[in-house]
Structure 1
């Protein structure tokens, strides 16, 4: 069976009409590839359209303020992608004369661009014969060839990358790569794959041996870390008290409420009696409102957040902790984690 030919033939008949498939501009392709990482097409497409309209060239992206980019990114998650993109756009302006690279060897040197993304951009923009190996391609190859080497092991990544590069149609590298990813997304799905409509079924080892649901094999991820976030809501005529997150943790440079993190779930009344809380807000604090606990899942972390509105507090906290007031009408201008801006949407409606 002609694996590559079957994949391409299927793709030409069934491919989705996605906006980034209408161009060979490496900058626009880069935008789509980074935005779509860890993101469903349905969720990511509106973000891609907004970014492409607001920043139609790499020069536009490079000259934007980081906060502006993070604000536009809000709700998409994995905010380091947006920061890395901003850095990369500036490097392209400085070191490549404002022309986004098309070749794999130049692309792989840019921040935030790994092997997969470099292969995607180079093959889609200039037909360079570099195989794209994403989750869809891992799954497709593992099932079709009956490979049980874990896809997230060093040996697995090497094996599947070599195999993908052997299979690539060098004369139609870009089309083949898009076809393989699309086929894995729409036909060889993680759950309930459409085996009966699959043109590769006659040669598929997983189908022949009844191992469709067993492949691909993946080493279990690291243990999920649980964190308990106690957000303090201070609201008065000055606005709402806010904090800007620092580096070396999730949500770098995004805006949130003052945070007291604990190792376990704490009752709000116990929290306001602990020393660090009293140092920040004084010892006469009264609790005005407590939200239900909110669970927020990240890639390797599970957050449990509680929002506590207080009154009768000391005003010394802002100077010592770097917190500051933001007027309600200005909140929309700040890039915030999804957990925070969703709370504001509900809280402000509730309070107003």
Structure 2
């Protein structure tokens, strides 16, 4: 085990990101919110969302009581929307189970929705001054390289060893140390092209001594992402309103408002597809199937118009290929607004919680789908 705490703390005092908005106080709610937003999201991307979210929902009680649509609208564009739903559930549990205070033990904190061991430890160390080790992606990478750990970091045994190492290396000033090791991983010991010559640990880093900084952590070859395909319906009524459909709380884009979707056979969204098949082709049979499926499900008499060019959106576990279909409502009959179907004026639609591809479609509507 290589002692690194003192060196890291000295480096952090001079080079750390002390100006980050969530480092300006020790408020548990603000620290927790930042930790949730920074899961799977880069710091610069999270900053504006963090500021808007705090301004609108400044404490546990406000988040717990907010309409889900409001929470998702504030989160819209940040991705990984289960984080937003879990965040609201966590706030509700903090209010009802813990009297409006973030629990002060690791065992209790990890029972909150969306709060894992590292997230809980980061909040406890910074808010309550506890000696709690973290193991986020940045900290894990620093430990793997400094100790030349060649095992797959995703394997359970490796994770257990890394937690043991992290706990042993974390000093009493866990708050400062945790921020220091995060910043070193984010600024110096980066995933690609680590800046070893600027690293305060360069003289004690085993990976650097072995000339293997770029090779660690080891990566396991990933299988190609499966592809899924769908059509999005952009239908406008006689008053110029756009129809949106609320997604189920679970699954893809859970709880968000979306353009109605369908597969080329009129079935559920999205279907698996491959390069050898062409489920997004514009053919009379496809148009007829889509029109019948949407008319039946939405209760509308539709006329499909243009099909725009194929677009793509990448998820963690698959790639979505989609085309946007323009349509108009025939006659005066329109679908009634309901809990899951609602007509919006274009400007109002953009204020809702929308998936990124749908937001892009609506913003670009004046120039095509």
**TM-score normalised according to structure 1 size:** 0.92
**Secondary structure of the corresponding residue to residue 295 of structure 1:** strand
CA deviation profile, 1:168-227 (whole Å, cap 9, x unmatched): 11x201111111111111111111111111121111111111111110113345652211
Which residue is 1:56 aligned to? Answer: 58
Contact 1:229 1:306 in 2 (8 A): yes
Taking the aligned partners of 2:221 and 2:131, their CA distance within structure 1 comes to 32
Which residue is 1:328 aligned to? Answer: 346
| Runs (5+) with no aligned partner, structure 2 | 264-270, 274-278
Taking the aligned partners of 1:137 and 1:299, their CA distance within structure 2 comes to 22
Taking the aligned partners of 1:316 and 1:214, their CA distance within structure 2 comes to 63
Matches within 5 A, 1:1-352: 2-16=3-17, 17-169=19-171, 171-221=172-222, 223-238=224-239, 239-261=241-263, 262-264=271-273, 265-269=279-283, 270-274=285-289, 277-281=291-295, 287-311=304-328, 318=335, 323-347=341-365, 349-350=366-367
Shift of 1:102: 3.3
Taking the aligned partners of 2:288 and 2:334, their CA distance within structure 1 comes to 15
**Secondary structure of the corresponding residue to residue 288 of structure 2:** coil
Contact 1:232 1:307 in 2 (8 A): yes
Greater share of residues in helix: 1
Shift of 1:31: 0.7
Shift of 1:350: 2.2
Seen in structure 2, the aligned counterparts of structure 1 residues 100 and 69 have a Cα distance that, compared at 3 Å, is same
Contact 2:125 2:174 in 1 (8 A): yes
Seen in structure 2, the aligned counterparts of structure 1 residues 74 and 272 have a Cα distance that, compared at 3 Å, is same
Contact 2:256 2:354 in 1 (8 A): yes
Taking the aligned partners of 1:19 and 1:329, their CA distance within structure 2 comes to 30
Shift of 1:125: 1.0
CA deviation profile, 1:145-186 (whole Å, cap 9, x unmatched): 1111111110111011100101111x2011111111111111
Contact 1:102 1:125 in 2 (8 A): no
| Runs (5+) with no aligned partner, structure 1 | none
**TM-score normalised according to structure 2 size:** 0.88
